[in-house]
Amino acid sequence: MNGSVVAVSRSATYTFSKPTQLSIRLLPGLGVEGDAHMGKTIKHRYRVARNPDEPNLRQVHLIHAELHDELSRAGFAVSAGQMGENITTRGIDLLALPTGTRLHLGQDAIVEVTGLRNPCHQLNKFQSGLMNAVLDRDADGKTVRKSGIMAIVVSGGDVRIDDPIRIEMPPQPHAPLQPV
């Protein structure tokens, strides 16, 4: 279950979408160099208002390109970076990874998965109906959040388009992803 990087994105300002780049640099314990959400403590504005000292478990946002494909089939026009992700992947079921999974990106960078991205109302401002399109229900009626995962940077390095991604599973027992 290995995959690859299909796009990398960052924005120095608090914008919903992030422009794609040729490469991004991940900084240990901080996130994406030059991105507005970089830092040891939380940078998402609504969370800062609640507790500015909360640890930043959302340093890197990853979305699987397969979600873009699914959204396209449903009539949405969404491409890499437009939903705020830093890294767009292909070939990995990101949502099925357990908490603590490490993703080795390219030669040096390693991120550790902290949880699910909880989709917000900004999705509907981007495209009407998009928030409902990234939410689903499983067979038990539980909410399925499809808008990607969040991670912290364990080991820094440059991440580029076409970089391989290697998965390192955490020790058993595995904890399922929860919103962070």
pLDDT of residue 45: 73
Tell me if 144 sits within 8 A of 136, measured CB to CB: yes
Tell me if 113 sits within 8 A of 151, measured CB to CB: yes
135 part of a folded domain: yes
Tell me if 52 sits within 8 A of 61, measured CB to CB: no
pLDDT of residue 50: 85
Domain membership of residue 88 as a residue range: 3-168
Average pLDDT value for the chain: 95
57 part of a folded domain: yes
* pTM summary value: 0.95
Residue 1: band (very low, low, confident or very high) from pLDDT cuts 50, 70, 90: low
CATH number of the domain bearing residue 107: 2.40.33.20
The pLDDT tens digits of the residues spanning 17-76 come to: 999 999 999 999 999 999 999 999 988 777 778 888 999 999 999 999 999 999 999 999
Please enumerate, as own/partner, the contacts of 121-127 that have beta carbons within 8 Å and a separation of 24 or more: 122/16, 123/83, 123/147, 125/16, 126/16, 126/17, 126/82, 126/83, 127/76, 127/77, 127/78
Average pLDDT over residues 91-115: 97
Residue 136: band (very low, low, confident or very high) from pLDDT cuts 50, 70, 90: very high
173 part of a folded domain: no
Tell me if 102 sits within 8 A of 16, measured CB to CB: no
pLDDT of residue 120: 85
* Domains identified in the chain, total number: 1
94 vs 119, higher pLDDT? 94
The pLDDT tens digits of the residues spanning 160-169 come to: 999 999 999 9
177 part of a folded domain: no
72 part of a folded domain: yes
pLDDT of residue 49: 82
179 part of a folded domain: no
Average pLDDT over residues 129-145: 94
66 part of a folded domain: yes
pLDDT of residue 19: 98
170 vs 47, higher pLDDT? 170
Report the range of poorest mean pLDDT among 49-53, 94-98, 150-154. 49-53
178 part of a folded domain: no
